[in-house]
Amino acid sequence: MRLGQVVTNLLSNAIEHTRDRITITTQRQNGHALLIIADNGPGIPKEHLPHLFDRFYRAEASRTRGTDHNGLGLAISKAIVDAHGGTLEASNGSTGGAVFALQLSAEA
């Protein structure tokens, strides 16, 4: 149930920040399940990437303008993924847009 919350949060963020396209990729790799959600929005400024999963952190005002978000969604998502022994990382795509990669053990 909590992992569903993570996926919902990542998809909601992608929908909110995309221009018109979201790509969802799944893979099995070296005993891990990998979910990648990428949008083609403005991306995340480099200086914000190290803090993106900090509680109450909100990236630049233009990215959060007009929203009533409190900066907890990504922090909670990261905590859930960490509790499941996985990783959650954020980066920018080579052609722009934000990319979130969720990796969990695929071992039964």
Residue 25, domain CATH: 3.30.565.10
What distance in Å separates the CA atoms of residue 18 and residue 4, rounded to the nearest whole number? Answer: 21
Mean pLDDT of 24-37: 96
What distance in Å separates the CA atoms of residue 63 and residue 40, rounded to the nearest whole number? Answer: 14
Give all strands of the β-sheet with 98-105 in edge-to-edge order: 22-29, 32-39, 98-105, 87-92
Alpha helices, DSSP H only, in 29-103? 61-64, 73-83
The pLDDT value recorded for residue 57 is 72
- Closest CA relative to residue 82, chosen from 53, 61, 59, 48: 53
Return phi, psi of residue 16, to 5°.
-65, -30
The pLDDT value recorded for residue 62 is 43
Overall domain count for the chain: 1
Q: Is the pLDDT higher at 21 or at 64?
A: 21
The pLDDT value recorded for residue 10 is 96
- Closest CA relative to residue 99, chosen from 32, 47, 52: 52
Whether residue 58 is predicted with pLDDT greater than 50 in this model: the reply is: yes
Q: Residue 107 — pLDDT band, cuts 50, 70, 90? A: confident
What distance in Å separates the CA atoms of residue 71 and residue 85, rounded to the nearest whole number? Answer: 23
Domain extent at residue 17: 2-105
Q: Residue 65 — pLDDT band, cuts 50, 70, 90? A: very low
